[in-house]
Chains A and B, each alone.
Chain A
């Protein structure tokens, strides 16, 4: 029963997680989109690295409401939690979501946050906390998560050994398209746990006869049939059991187990000829699988029961040969693990590029230590340890690369310093010249501007006199002064001439005043343009100079700090990898030893059965 409950919860996770945690929509923030790009590829470190930075920056800016992340901030905070969870950082996961829960937000947002947090608690193995969080959900629930909330609630009840409550919830979810297969299967499990075996069988039958769907739905349908077949087998309803097991797809993940049990269902019903079919299929499959090894013995057993002892003897001999071969593989695997090859194989890059890398490990040439790995993967302890080991290896590679980057940064900084430092005094001298030119021009502009402003209020033609006119005016003034000292006779004539000259000068100034004012105005505008151009050059110079200086100053402390932290993390990480690796090797070794012991027993069985069948066949032939 405990195994069934684990099955139900594991499948619930499968239904909850894929493709639901992250949501793109109409993207307004490129960096958020970049984080999603990595998340969709399940590169959680990179996704978190970018999203953490983007969310932190959003809260640092003066006006977050003008930041493009504001359109996605709710999803971004939820996603941080999801990414952390997927990256197996359970301790951190949920912090950002708690912040949303504590903020002043509407029902829909708060309820979605509560759902997400509950999901995290559930996945952390804290069903009590998950239920407490779910019970905080009140008011409007976004439609797209309404069924998911209830499905999670049902799974939490199952985890808390409250199958009746789980069944109540699951009954309401039977029409949910998004949970097709999962809600049917889990209801079957809940009824089973509740002790309603008859109803459970009917429910699992419904789950096992669902048609179509995606790969996950097909897998859950297979799982339903496998569990149902097992239940019926235990109830000695062998025909019904075989029928359910026969519905499991031959190419699905539960095929081996189903074929084996189907054979036993037939054999238990004394229908050995029918048992030959599933066992015959299974016996031709990958010989490292426990179910296949069992079928190698079961198949000749069926033949012997049918009295075909010659065929049984041949098959027992084949089985013994296969087991001997597998024992050699297992011995090689154990030796290889002792030599440290197992851990090296786990991190082989070409394998991990593939989605089904664990399966491919078994086919790696020259890596016998990996042949039996797929069965190990079923163990949660091994799975967690393995993922941690792989994460540590990824981080180790990053840290080593970063150390090289920091060295390169140092080199860049030194080169920039060597280039810019000698140039800067000369540049600064030019800058000072430019600065004084600008100041002079600005003063001139200000003076001219002041004059123009005055003239707009009260015309002052004298302000617009040319230098010749100013000289002439000064000369006239000097002559007037000289005339005042001269005799009357000379003065009358000269004074008249001087007045005429003065009049001519005034005439020019007065009549040309407007034209000159317009020209002055235009000259002022041209001067402003010149000053603007000079100021732009000035600003550009300041920026360039600043950029040049900033390109090599102020980094030392930062780089030294990062180098220290990188080295420290690398030391710590190397130690953790060693311990994690030893743990994996120990788990793998134990598993392989168990498999070895089992195979040794099976080998003996095969040898004895071969001898027995051979005798019977010989006797039969003699008779």
Chain B
């Protein structure tokens, strides 16, 4: 006879299994690899910038905006990576606009927008956006 705690552990295992399959199904159904584009946000650990929000536009269209809670910001500063957007786009050349708002270490408001070209081919496109720099943060972009 299993204890209540053991049964809870077992149901956790089952639900994690369902979550994994559902993730796969969702990705295949909603974001097939030939059109999938995902944008990830991370922060350089040395950045003293207090991030408030990030907005992402693809080809001039706003696709994602996120306002950060304290816990989320801490998670980014410790080295976590936030998947901010998953969507679809056709193959070819595109433009990504990243707008960042927050406060500098001195408490002054700071906002910046930078544009980056990116190319989408037949495979999934993963774009990493990193906020770096110890003063005014710069936005760096990398493909994976």
Which residues of chain B come closer than 8 Å to A391, judged between CB atoms? 8, 12
Q: Which of A33, A40, A405, A550 is the one whose CB lies under 8 Å from B22?
A: A405
Give the one of B5, B23, B26, B83 with max A CB within 10 A.
B5
A557-577 with Cβ < 8 A to chain B? 558-559, 562, 565-566, 569, 572-573, 576
Which residues of chain B come closer than 8 Å to A547, judged between CB atoms? 32, 34-35
- Whether A30 contacts B20 by the Cβ 8 Å rule is no
Interface string of B53-94 (1 = CB under 8 A from A): 000000000000000000110111011111100000000000
Q: With CB as the reference atom, state the residue of chain A lying closest to B70.
A: A355
Which residues of chain B come closer than 8 Å to A405, judged between CB atoms? 22, 26
- Whether A40 contacts B78 by the Cβ 8 Å rule is yes
By DSSP majority rule, is chain A's interface helix, strand, loop, or mixed? helix
Q: Which of A36, A91, A399 is the one whose CB lies under 8 Å from B9?
A: A91
- Whether B81 contacts A52 by the Cβ 8 Å rule is no
Q: With CB as the reference atom, state the residue of chain A lying closest to B33.
A: A547
| Residue A39 is within 8 A (CB to CB) of chain B in the complex | yes
- Whether B4 contacts A579 by the Cβ 8 Å rule is yes
| Residue A511 is within 8 A (CB to CB) of chain B in the complex | no
- Whether A569 contacts B81 by the Cβ 8 Å rule is no
Q: Could you tell me the distance between the alpha carbons of A293 and B144 in the complex, rounded to whole angstroms?
A: 61
Interface string of A531-561 (1 = CB under 8 A from B): 0000000000001000100110001001100
| Residue B19 is within 8 A (CB to CB) of chain A in the complex | yes
Size bin of chain B's contact surface: 35 or more
- Whether B25 contacts A562 by the Cβ 8 Å rule is yes
Counting residue pairs across A and B whose Cβ atoms lie within 8 Å, the total is 148
Which residues of chain A come closer than 8 Å to B10, judged between CB atoms? 91
Q: Could you tell me the distance between the alpha carbons of A25 and B42 in the complex, rounded to whole angstroms?
A: 12
Interface string of A255-276 (1 = CB under 8 A from B): 0000000000000000000000
Given known contacts A27-B42, A37-B75, is B9 in contact with A92 (CB within 8 Å)?
yes
- Whether B11 contacts A392 by the Cβ 8 Å rule is yes
Which residues of chain A come closer than 8 Å to B71, judged between CB atoms? 40-41
| Residue A605 is within 8 A (CB to CB) of chain B in the complex | no
Which residues of chain A come closer than 8 Å to B22, judged between CB atoms? 402, 405-406, 562
Which residues of chain B come closer than 8 Å to A384, judged between CB atoms? 5
Q: Which of A41, A48, A402, A550 is the one whose CB lies under 8 Å from B18?
A: A402
3 interchain residue pairs of minimum CB distance? A24-B79, A33-B81, A37-B80
A–B pairs, 17, beta carbons within 8 Å: A23-B79, A24-B45, A24-B78, A27-B81, A30-B83, A33-B80, A34-B82, A37-B81, A388-B8, A392-B8, A399-B15, A547-B32, A551-B29, A555-B25, A569-B11, A569-B18, A572-B14
